[in-house]
Amino acid sequence: MKCFAILFFILFSAFSKTLVAQELLGLPLAYNYGKSVYQGGSRTWDIKQDSRGVMYFGNSEGLLTFDGRYWKTFSLPNHTNIRSVWIDAEDRIYVGGQGDFGYFERSPQFGLVYHSLHDLVPEEYRNFADIWNTVGVGQSVFFRGTNAIFELKGQKIQVHPAAVEWYYMGQSGVILYAQDKKNGLLEFRDNKWSPYVKDLPFKDVKIASLVSLGKDRLLLSTLNNQIYTLHNRNLTRMHVQGGDGNYTPSIAKVDDSTFVVGNAKEGCQIRNLDGETIQKIGVKEGLQNKNVTSVFVDRQKNIWVGTDNFISVISYGSAIRYLRPNMENDVTGYSTLLFNNTLYLSSSNGVYYAKIKEGLTDQSRSPAVFSLLPGSDGGEAWRLEQLNGQLLLGHNKGLFQITDHSLKQVRQGIGTWKLLPLSMVYPVKESLIGTYNGLELLDFHQGLFSIKGPLDGPSDSFRFLEQDEKGTIWASHPYRGIYRITLSDDKKSYQAKLCNHKDGLPADYQNYVFKIKNQILFATERGLYRYDYKINRFMPAKEFAAFKELTIRYLKDDQEGNIWFCTKKMVGVGRFDSKLRTYHLISFPEIEGMNTTGFEHIYTIDQHNIYIGAEKGLIHINYDKYLKDSVRPVAMLSQIIATGKGDSLIYAGFFSNALESKEQPLNAKKGNVLRLPSNFKSFRFSFSSPSYGINQHLEFSYKLSGYDEQWSSWNQQSEKSYTNLPDGQYTFLVKVRSNLNQHSDIAEYSFIVLPPWYKTLWAKIAYFLLAMLAVFGLIHLRKIERHKQQLKHERQLAQLRYIHQLEIEKNEKEIVKLNNEKLAHEVMAKTKELASTSMQLLENSGALIKVKDELAKLDTGDHEDSNLKRINMLLKDIEKNSANWNQFASHFDELNDGFLNNLKAKHPALSRNDLKVCAYLKLHFTSKQIAQLQNITVRGVEIHRYRLRKKLQIETELSLNEYLNTI
């Protein structure tokens, strides 16, 4: 009984492995979008893609769209389910709902606008339930209900009633097929339904999907998980592995050799044309739910899956796949090695292995499963090494040899990191072992490995070991620095010098040593360095300048000369250009953060098989496929919102039915550039690229022409806001690039922010007219003002003239006054001079009189001296001399305006002596003074004055002096 149980277990295990062996080794990466993300209902019934690459989902809450970044929802008027979707060549979206069907038309501002066709249905057929299938063939679009199929052609609807009940409707090329409960499978030709396969082997089972496999071969699936091929009207049932009759509502073609089946119990199943399930994708494999209602394969070979509360996308056609050795409990992958056509993986808990099918280019597509190597678990399996044709394992428990899927212990105890052969000649006799506590020596003799024991030297953890062409051994410790190790001649001890920034390294930490292209390179926080023995310093490796400033933690070269590397979270490759001898860096953003951190490892077999240690096993990259499958990305605007007093959606992501013009903005070529009022000054632009799944990691660059001078830097941000834009014309431009530096065409949108009313043309015309009126008014006012100024000026001028005249008169008076004063002074001076002269004359006269009197006393009579006689005669002559008078008269007339001349002219009878007396009186001389001057008595003067009055004929009441003053 015990033996039978053992035999049964062996057979069951073998049979289980046979069944499971059909699973592909590599799993595609799956991305899941929950209801909280896509903002729709629980169930997704149908999935389609338009010409731009935008995805459409018939959902229980309406039509969902997804452009790679943004989800949008458009509901039917009755807010019911959308069961079916079909998109024509013009990207018009036809939908079938519950109690209604119609189409969505694109609208720049509203996105998609629904137009119901319900009113075109004849009245007796309007009471229908769900439209389960919508298909377009030729010039017609067909909508299938259970009781009738409605054909839309132009603006008319023709009804095709069911004989009993319409089960299914689908198309292949230009042929429309439908399943009727009574008549089987029909085809629509010449405007009528004709039997195609009448006797179906599944009479009471509905067809779920119909897929074309060529010109005349169809793949037909039923809801109970049965698959048939249809060729020349003959149905052949395909033997389906695991065909358990589960509800299978949808299938989709992946390529010419595989198709995907959506199952309500198992999730998705990838099957080949023999009906074999080659890949299951359920919850373990990445889906959030296994109850699948719809599947669809897009142009990038992504499988879209509609499940309960989730919409998932599986990157099935991607060149990147996951290898998860333990689906129940994921392990971290540390290293990979292909040995004897078996793929080995060392992990955080043991070693796993899987047999690779021979002849496969892409090993991830090998039908195999991983098995745990017995005895390898219970600790970290760090590194797999191939040495002398043997497979060795560095383990947390020591060093092991793997033989026939079993472990043989070579060294027990301390953990082992790495092996370093000390010779290039095989078989290698001696190798160094880097352990947790220093170095040990491994010996190979007669096909057996043995440990010679630990070497004497500094104790440290040596995880990175390399030897250069000079025999120097380099070891690195990420937290200490670089060790330069020298072995003793007997290889029993070693010396280790710790190198740091003093020796040329940019830092003391995060330094690693690798052997690339047979030369030792040191990966640092600032790129790659090498050691210069001439100056005994670390120097930047100039030929690897492309890696400058990268914080590299792992390096590995491949057969093509490319250098694969890991940074903190990124995996990339330096693609070698043999002509320029340079490297072009390519990153893999699809797996950013998925690789193993701290224990990075890359294993390069060829350009189709690159293995990267990951947090969930391994990541496989078919690098050649990755480059060939790269598609130029497409940039599109998803939404534009303008903000004024409130938010306004001015562009909803839909404008034209095909890709917009490369030369004109997508709205400018229609001649309808949007004009916005001046209160809209803030804008938010949302943009995207219809790339999904593993291909969704793209970078954008944008520019607002009319505002920005330069393009923005490349980044993954898919929104940009602008605030306080002035009035003017703007064009928003956006472009996208892939990690392979493929650039899209530029997507554009033009709009105009109108100026405020006070800046409009009419306002400017009004301003101009007002300005002209103001100018004319100013001119008129200026004229009036000028006239007033002129009058005022004339008045002021007249006043000034008057004042000037007054000033002149005043000045003249002042001048006259001054002249008079001057004359008065001159007269006074002359008068004083005359007075002085008169006084002198008076004195002289007095003196002469005295002389005369004295001489009279000397008079001797008749006999007087002759001399005395002569003197008396001289005195008489002096008295008679009029020289002084003439001088006096001349000065007197000058001072008194010709007084003597006027007096003489008026009174010619006046004698000279009379004139003298008048002059003396004019000078206000007294009678006594006049008497002295005249040498007469005072009485004589009085008599003379009396005679003058008579000669002058002066009135009695007028004095002589007053009269003389009037002349």
DSSP readout, 567-586? -SS-EEEEEEETTTTEEEEE
Whether residue 213 has pLDDT greater than 50? yes
Taking CA atoms, 794 is separated from 741, 799, 809, in Å, by: 87, 8, 21
The vertex-260 CA angle with 259 and 262, nearest 5°, equals 150
Average per-residue pLDDT for the chain = 86
Helix (H) or strand (E) holding 842: helix 761-857
For residues 957, 958, 961, 965, the Cα torsion angle rounded to the nearest 10 degrees is 160
What's residue 360's pLDDT? 92
Instruction: Write down the H helix ranges in 858-898.
Output: 866-880, 883-895
3-class DSSP state for residue 123? helix
Q: How many CB atoms lie within 10 A of CB 23?
A: 18
What's residue 834's pLDDT? 58
Whether residue 531 has pLDDT greater than 90? yes
List the single range of 268-282, 412-426, 743-757, 944-958 with lowest mean pLDDT.
944-958
- In 380-395, which positions are buried (b, 16+ CB within 10 angstroms) versus exposed (e)? bbbbbbebeebbbbbb
Percent of the chain with pLDDT over 90: 55
Whether residue 426 has pLDDT greater than 80? yes
Specify the higher pLDDT residue, 16 or 116.
116
Whether residue 656 has pLDDT greater than 60? no
**Strand (E) positions, 300-358?**
303-307, 310-314, 320-323, 333-339, 342-347, 350-355
Whether residue 18 has pLDDT greater than 50? no
Specify the higher pLDDT residue, 695 or 666.
695
Percent of the chain with pLDDT over 70: 89
From the DSSP assignment, how many helices (H) and strands (E) are in the chain? 11, 64
Taking CA atoms, 326 is separated from 12, 25, 612, in Å, by: 20, 12, 16
3-class DSSP state for residue 440? strand
**Residue type at 238 in one-letter notation:** M
For residue 315, give both structure tokens. 């990157």
Residues 577-590, mean pLDDT to the nearest whole number:
91
CB-based burial label for 25 (10 Å; 0-12, 13-18, 19+):
buried
Hey, what long-range contacts does 810-816 have (CB within 8 A, 24 or more apart)?
none
Whether residue 530 has pLDDT greater than 70? yes
Q: How many CB atoms lie within 10 A of CB 450?
A: 12
pLDDT band at 9 (very low <50, low <70, confident <90, very high): very low
Q: Which of 241, 237, 297 is nearest to 272 (CA)?
A: 241
What's residue 6's pLDDT? 35
Taking CA atoms, 10 is separated from 5, 242, 342, 365, in Å, by: 9, 22, 22, 27
The vertex-336 CA angle with 333 and 339, nearest 5°, equals 145
Contact status, residue 450 vs residue 401, Cβ threshold 8 Å: no
3-class DSSP state for residue 525? coil
What's residue 15's pLDDT? 35
List the single range of 29-38, 415-424, 704-713, 817-826 with lowest mean pLDDT.
817-826
Residues 435-457, mean pLDDT to the nearest whole number:
92
pLDDT band at 199 (very low <50, low <70, confident <90, very high): confident
**What's 97's DSSP letter?**
E
What's residue 700's pLDDT? 96
Contact status, residue 235 vs residue 229, Cβ threshold 8 Å: yes
Q: Cα–Cα distance between 732 and 687 in angstroms, integer?
A: 11
Sheet arrangement for strand 398-403: 381-387, 390-395, 398-403, 406-412
Handedness of CA 601, 603, 608, 614 (dihedral sign): negative
The string of pLDDT tens digits covering residues 317-355 is 999 999 999 988 899 999 999 999 999 999 999 999 999
Q: How many CB atoms lie within 10 A of CB 925?
A: 19
Hey, what long-range contacts does 14-23 have (CB within 8 A, 24 or more apart)?
17/369, 19/241, 20/369, 21/367, 21/368, 21/369, 22/241, 22/276, 22/277, 22/278, 22/367, 23/277, 23/278, 23/279, 23/280, 23/367, 23/368, 23/369
**What's 716's DSSP letter?**
S
What's residue 667's pLDDT? 57
Q: What is the pTM of this model?
A: 0.77
Q: Cα–Cα distance between 611 and 697 in angstroms, integer?
A: 21
For residue 911, give both structure tokens. 């004698």
For residue 433, give both structure tokens. 């072992």
Q: Cα–Cα distance between 598 and 568 in angstroms, integer?
A: 8
For residue 214, give both structure tokens. 């060529």
Q: Cα–Cα distance between 201 and 224 in angstroms, integer?
A: 13
Whether residue 840 has pLDDT greater than 60? no
What's residue 657's pLDDT? 46
3-class DSSP state for residue 917? helix
Q: Cα–Cα distance between 701 and 713 in angstroms, integer?
A: 6
Q: How many CB atoms lie within 10 A of CB 140?
A: 16
pLDDT band at 21 (very low <50, low <70, confident <90, very high): very low
Q: Cα–Cα distance between 445 and 257 in angstroms, integer?
A: 51
